[in-house]
Structure 1
C-alpha cells in the first residue's frame, strides 16, 4: 500500500527550490541537478511534481503569485492617497533581493515559452495590472478612452521598471522611477472633472 502524500512537503520543497534558484536559471534545470543541489533524491521531485514541465509550471505560479496585481475590487474604492500607499507597499515588497530573483525567473519562464502556458500566465499578470489601473481611473472620473490608454501606460511602466530592476539591481533609481510614474498616473485622476453623485 502506498504511503499517503505529505501535504506539507510539497510547499516546503517549492520554497527550497526557489531559494536554490536564486542564482540559477530555468533553462538548465533538471530533476537530477535540482535533486543534487537540494540534497534529496530525484525520485522525491518526480513523486511530488511528476514532470519537469509541471515543476516549472509550479515554480512560475509561485513566482507570479508574488508579482500579482492588487485585488481590483479593493483598489477601485481607494482615494488617491490610499491607492498610492497600496502601490508603494507592493513596490517595496518587489524591491527585495528575493523579489528581484523571483522577477528574473518569471521573465525567463515567459521568454522560454512566449506563446505557451508560461507566456499566457505572464500576459494574464500584465492584463490584471492594466485592468486595475484602467478601472481605478474610470472610478475616479477619467473618460474610458483616456483611462484605457493611461492604464496601459501605467502597467507597461510598472513591468518595464521591474525588468530594469532585474537588469541593474539599482533599487534606489528604479524606485525613484516608479514614484514618478505613480505620481504622473495619479495626476490624471486629479485633473479629471469630478463625477456627478
Structure 2
C-alpha cells in the first residue's frame, strides 16, 4: 500500500468515526475528507472498494487489539470479556454498522467483496483456534470453538446495534467468554479439564 493511499485511508477512517458515511456517494465522501472523488477512485477504484478497505483496516486493528490482550498464562475468559467491551464500544458503532453493511453484500458474493470474504472468517478463526490449541484443546475442537465464538460475538454485536439492550448483551458476552473455554464432558479437552470435571461431579 502506497503512503499516499494509506494516508487517505486514515482520513476516511477518521471521517467515518465522526460522521459515518455508508449512505454517502463517493463525491460526498471526498468532500468530507478534503480530497477529490478522482483521488479516491485512483487509489481505491470504486466507492464499494473504498468501504471494504476501511472495514479491512478496522478488522485488522481489532485483531491486533485482541492479540495485545493475550498473555501466555493469562485468563482467556477475562480476555474475552475485555475484548467484548472493546468491540461493543458505542464509539465504534459507525464502523460496526459499515461492517455489517459490507457483510450483507458479501452474502450475495458481490465481486467487490472478494477480498473481504477471503479474510472475514479465516483471519479471525485461525489465530483463535491456535490460541485454544496452546491452552490444551484438541485442534479439531479448537477450530469449532473459534468459529462458534466468532459467529456468536458478531451476533451479539448485531443484536446490540438493533436493540441497544446493553445490560443483557454485556452479560451475554461475559457468559460466552466463559463457555468458550470450558471443557466438554465428552472429551474433557482444555487446560485444567480434569480438575474442572471432578469439581462438577462432586457438586
- Report 1:130-141 matches (<5 A): 130-141=125-136
Measured in 2, the distance between the counterparts of 1:142 and 1:21 equals 43
Give unmatched runs, 5+ long, in structure 1.
none
Distance 1:171 1:35, change over 3 A: same
Aligned to 1:161: 156
Matching of residues 31-42 of structure 1 within 5 Å: 31-37=26-32, 41-42=36-37
Return the offset for 1:173: 1.9
Aligned to 1:88: 81
TM-score, length-normalised on structure 1?
Answer: 0.71
| Structure 2 partner of 1:99 | 92
| Structure 2: stretches of 5+ with no match in the other structure | 184-189, 196-203
Alpha-carbon distance in structure 1 between the residues aligned to 2:72 and 2:172: 23
Distance across 2 between alignment mates of 1:152 and 1:39 = 40
Give CA deviations for 1:23-43 in whole Å, capped at 9, x if unaligned.
x53xx4322232455566434
Report the CA distance shift for 1:157/1:119 in structure 2 as closer, same or farther (over 3 A).
farther
Partner of 1:18: 16
Residue 78 in structure 1 maps to residue 72 in structure 2: yes
| TM-score using structure 2 length | 0.70
Structure 2 match to 1:125? 120
> How far apart are 1:168 and its partner, in Å?
1.9
Write out per-residue CA displacement over residues 113-155 of structure 1, whole angstroms, 9 at most, x where no aligned residue. 3324536525523223322333233222223333333332222
| Residues matched between the structures, number | 184
Are 1:182 and 2:177 matched, yes or no?
A: yes
Structure 1: distance between partners of 2:41 and 2:142: 47
